[in-house]
Amino acid sequence: MNLARVAQKLGITESRLQGLHETVIRESGWPEPRLLRFEKETSGVEAGTVIFENGEIVFGYPKIHRALMLAAAVKRHFSDLVAVQEKMNGHNVRILSLNGDIVALTRGGFICPYSTEVARRLVPEYIFEKNPNLVLCGEMVGPENPYVAKDIYPTDSIDFYLFDITEKNCKSTLCVHRTYEIAEEYGLKATAFLGEFHKESAAERIKQIVIRLGRQGREGVVMKDPENIVAPLKYTSSQTNCSDLAVAFRYYNDYALDFFVSRAVREGFQSVEWNESEEERRARALSLGESILLPLVDTIERAQRGENIVQKVQIRVKSLQTARDFEYHLRRSGIRVIFEQPVPDDDGYLIRITKLIMSTNDKTQALLNGEMW
Amino acid sequence: MNLARVAQKLGITESRLQGLHETVIRESGWPEPRLLRFEKETSGVEAGTVIFENGEIVFGYPKIHRALMLAAAVKRHFSDLVAVQEKMNGHNVRILSLNGDIVALTRGGFICPYSTEVARRLVPEYIFEKNPNLVLCGEMVGPENPYVAKDIYPTDSIDFYLFDITEKNCKSTLCVHRTYEIAEEYGLKATAFLGEFHKESAAERIKQIVIRLGRQGREGVVMKDPENIVAPLKYTSSQTNCSDLAVAFRYYNDYALDFFVSRAVREGFQSVEWNESEEERRARALSLGESILLPLVDTIERAQRGENIVQKVQIRVKSLQTARDFEYHLRRSGIRVIFEQPVPDDDGYLIRITKLIMSTNDKTQALLNGEMW
């Protein structure tokens, strides 16, 4: 690897690059190909940025800031037009080809064996034969997404939806319309394009879109400047805020605390901005309260019945090696899992996975036994 | 000060005592008398423990652990009888006499000028003339409590309720019945004594007490072993959990985040333990949701109207010097306050105080202006 060249592409000095090694930059030798990952944002390089052994870089997918007051944020942020994409609820992957092999990188810059098998099934290789530098950024969604299982999307397994395109060694993404052109050209699914609005009317239109998406249990939107002049913004539905809280309170001792407050505060701003009636606020408060109380009650009652607090998901793989690799991948991420015996199914295997939620499990058992908080 | 003697009374070595100086032990030279305070718990010495210049020690008021599952905790913790006191919602003070002057210490071990003036008004000096080593531990409550203003107690200003008695240089407290005897002997108000129960029937009785207290907006109970064989436990009403949340979300950017999750989790355990019906759970979820959403909405709407996010409280003092000292005391605690002109009233002054809630104020204004979270 030519360090000077890599540093130049990253936009940092060679000595800085060497200084980051083993502190911010971590090696990952498994699965192949070997790579270096930026564990956090440093010197303007996004977290999740990956450097392969041949010196090729895939920049991390940038964090998208969130509007709390939609109309004010749109007005303040955008210059003229606002293109609106659906924000889907799954996990973010970057799919690329290296030495002829397709790999899928997680947000953090690991190669995920399961996402990679899914990508190899869904993304035709000739895309990368024609464009070897292409990096397809998108969301893996569906009921067989073992990170975030959702059955609100039109798949009974797992699917990939493109939302951005970038290239190796390149920090910026293509403009949103170009992304959809390429998706169409190669027959790739892309996240729904929900319209392009002038900034004056955008907030009201987006509000209606988000209300409609929310009714379908969907997450929300990403707003983009069609010319990429300013960074994208995101905005989510009340249903997603509440559903996030429901997951967090079901596993209340395993989640970071700031998760909870941010979700609740979003509800407050949305209620004010949408100028809700007393009745609407009551309904929102009830949803919010139920999304906190009911999962807590369910978790405590399960523990009371002697059940372990676990999360059950499933994956479908072509190769048993993928399942073994994915098990190792989850374990190295600190997730305690039990993989059941693979069940042959079509031309592959269905594998049920039990994630152990240790901290919430142990805490709940202790509190039920009369221990103090 | 005889360091060896002080160390012995603290139960630590002299060199350990010297080592803690200026790290855990801080000097407070104002207001008189000068003292040293333990800023946090160390070597078995409670946070808030105070050493006066004459070597006398007042130990910190111990943290009381909380039951989440009331019946299981009572069964596990107590040996036979459980004495139940009301837990009042105000601020914890320790009142004592030093060289003939009554002073009131806050939980953290500061002398609070306002609490001290209140204590001098409410606690007869002859108690300390007869028992110079007495330390009266209790709650200052009422609408003119500038830390926690509550109008649910039978005072239109501020009152002191004894709940424990200890002595200088002594870590333990007197037994609960002795506390009430002394209160009666000297005509001191004490927190309500709500009964003494066998551990088998205690949880059900305490549940009924807590439900009744909750209906009155009151906080909950402290359960004590009448012989002080085991440490006390506390348990609070749903109304208090929700009212805590309401305060926290009104000032959402100024409160520690763990405040939120702990309150919500208490609601989950109470709902499970009390085996609530679907309808009761719905009502609890609505209260919980409203206690989060409505204060948030109110804060955001105030900011939208251009109001500053502030908290208004008031105190009533005999001496203007007390007000000036209290202002300094709040400032040194990092609280930004505006004291209005004193209004003469009876034989003293009424002073309105505005506490500025800077972080929530600034954050809300920024978000309303379309800044991102």
Residue A260 CA to residue A280 CA, distance in Å, equals: 22
Residues of A in contact with B284 (CB under 8 A): 289, 293
- State yes or no: pLDDT of A156 exceeds 80: yes
CA distance A211 to chain B (A): 19
Strand runs labelled E in chain A: 25-28, 35-38, 50-52, 57-58, 65-66, 81-87, 91-98, 101-106, 134-141, 159-167, 193-198, 220-224, 233-236, 310-317, 336-339, 343-345, 348-356
Radius of gyration of chain B (CA): 22
Residue B40 CA, chain-centre distance (Å), reads 16
| A positions 215-254 inside 8 Å of B (CB) | 233, 249, 252
What is the rounded average pLDDT for all residues in chain B?
95
Residue B260 CA to residue A258 CA, distance in Å, equals: 10
pLDDT-based confidence at residue B258 (cuts at 50, 70, 90): confident
Inter-axis angle of helices A258-273 and A278-304, nearest 10: 160
For chain A, say whether B262 makes contact (Cβ under 8 Å). yes
- State yes or no: pLDDT of A256 exceeds 90: no
The pLDDT assigned to B1 comes to 83
The pLDDT assigned to B13 comes to 93
Please indicate whether, in this complex, the C-beta atoms of A292 and B289 are within 8 angstroms of each other: yes
A323-352 pLDDT, tens digit per residue, is 999 999 999 988 999 999 999 998 899 999
- State yes or no: pLDDT of B219 exceeds 80: yes
Please state the φ and ψ torsions of residue A304, each to the nearest 5 degrees.
-60, -35
Share of residues in chain A with pLDDT > 90 (%): 93
Using DSSP, state whether A242 is helix, strand or coil. Answer: helix
Residue A299 CA to residue A293 CA, distance in Å, equals: 10
Residues of B in contact with A301 (CB under 8 A): 272
Please indicate whether, in this complex, the C-beta atoms of B294 and A281 are within 8 angstroms of each other: yes
- What is the reported pTM? 0.91
| A positions 73-92 inside 8 Å of B (CB) | 73-77
Residue A107 CA to residue A111 CA, distance in Å, equals: 10
A193-236 pLDDT, tens digit per residue, is 999 999 999 999 999 999 999 999 999 999 999 999 999 999 99
Residue A103 CA to residue A95 CA, distance in Å, equals: 6
Q: Please report the DSSP string for A107-134 in residue order.
A: TTSPBPHHHHHHHHHHS-THHHHH-TTE
CB A95 within 8 A of CB A136: yes
Place of tokens 């305070």: B37
The ipTM (two decimal places) reads: 0.90
Residue B178 CA, chain-centre distance (Å), reads 22
Nearest by CB: B264 against A71, A77, A296 = A296
Side-chain-side CA neighbours of B84 within 13 Å: the count stands at: 23
What element of type H or E holds B96? strand B91-98
Q: Please report the DSSP string for B261-292 in residue order.
A: HHHHHHHHHHHHHTT--HHHHHHHHHHHHHHH
CA distance A91 to chain B (A): 21
Nearest to B216 by CA among B238, B191, B195, B194: B238
For chain B, say whether A279 makes contact (Cβ under 8 Å). no
- Give the residue-averaged pLDDT of A305-311: 94
Please indicate whether, in this complex, the C-beta atoms of A304 and B265 are within 8 angstroms of each other: no
The pLDDT assigned to A326 comes to 97
What is the rounded average pLDDT for all residues in chain A?
95
Share of residues in chain B with pLDDT > 70 (%): 100
CB B179 within 8 A of CB B162: yes
CA distance A64 to chain B (A): 10
- Give the residue-averaged pLDDT of A98-111: 96
- State yes or no: pLDDT of B260 exceeds 90: no
Residue A227 CA to residue A173 CA, distance in Å, equals: 11
For residue B335, what are its two tokens? 């609280």
Q: How many Cβ atoms from other residues are within 10 Å of residue B148's Cβ?
A: 15
Kind of pairing, strands A50-52 and A57-58?
antiparallel
Q: How many Cβ atoms from other residues are within 10 Å of residue B316's Cβ?
A: 23
| A positions 55-74 inside 8 Å of B (CB) | 65-69, 71-74
CA distance A238 to chain B (A): 12
What element of type H or E holds B325? helix B320-332
Task: Render the burial of A50-78: b for 16+ CB within 10 Å, e for the rest.
Answer: bbbeeebbbbbbbeeebbbbbbbbbeebb
pLDDT-based confidence at residue A49 (cuts at 50, 70, 90): very high
Residue B327 CA to residue B353 CA, distance in Å, equals: 9
- Give the residue-averaged pLDDT of A269-276: 97
A175-193 pLDDT, tens digit per residue, is 999 999 999 999 999 999 9
For residue B345, what are its two tokens? 């009233």
A10-41 pLDDT, tens digit per residue, is 999 999 999 998 889 999 999 999 999 999 99
pLDDT-based confidence at residue B257 (cuts at 50, 70, 90): confident
| B positions 301-340 inside 8 Å of A (CB) | 301, 304
The pLDDT assigned to B138 comes to 98
The pLDDT assigned to B255 comes to 83
Residue B101 CA, chain-centre distance (Å), reads 23
The pLDDT assigned to A302 comes to 96
- State yes or no: pLDDT of B236 exceeds 80: yes
Residues of A in contact with B373 (CB under 8 A): 65-66, 68, 262, 265
Length of chain B: 373
Length of chain A: 373
- State yes or no: pLDDT of B373 exceeds 90: no
Identify the burial level of A346 via C-beta atoms within 10 angstroms of its C-beta, where 0-12 means exposed, 13-18 middle and 19 or more buried.
exposed
Nearest by CB: A369 against B72, B286, B368 = B72
A111-126 pLDDT, tens digit per residue, is 999 999 999 999 999 9
pLDDT-based confidence at residue B129 (cuts at 50, 70, 90): very high
Distances (CA, A) of A347 to A84, A271, B11, B224: 38, 49, 72, 66
Nearest to B92 by CA among B37, B161, B195, B149: B161
Nearest to A129 by CA among A96, A166, A104, A103: A96
- Give the residue-averaged pLDDT of B249-273: 90
The pLDDT assigned to B191 comes to 98
- Give the residue-averaged pLDDT of B325-351: 94
Long-range contacts from B123-131, C-beta under 8 angstroms, 24+ separation: B123/B95, B123/B160, B123/B188, B124/B186, B124/B187, B125/B97, B127/B186, B127/B188, B128/B96, B128/B97, B128/B102
Residue A111 CA to residue A28 CA, distance in Å, equals: 9
Give the chain A residue whose CA is nearest to the CA of B299. Answer: A268
The pLDDT assigned to A373 comes to 76
Residue B226 CA to residue B174 CA, distance in Å, equals: 10
CB B34 within 8 A of CB B23: no
The pLDDT assigned to A4 comes to 92
Share of residues in chain A with pLDDT > 70 (%): 100
CB A108 within 8 A of CB A37: yes
The pLDDT assigned to B223 comes to 98
Using DSSP, state whether A204 is helix, strand or coil. Answer: helix
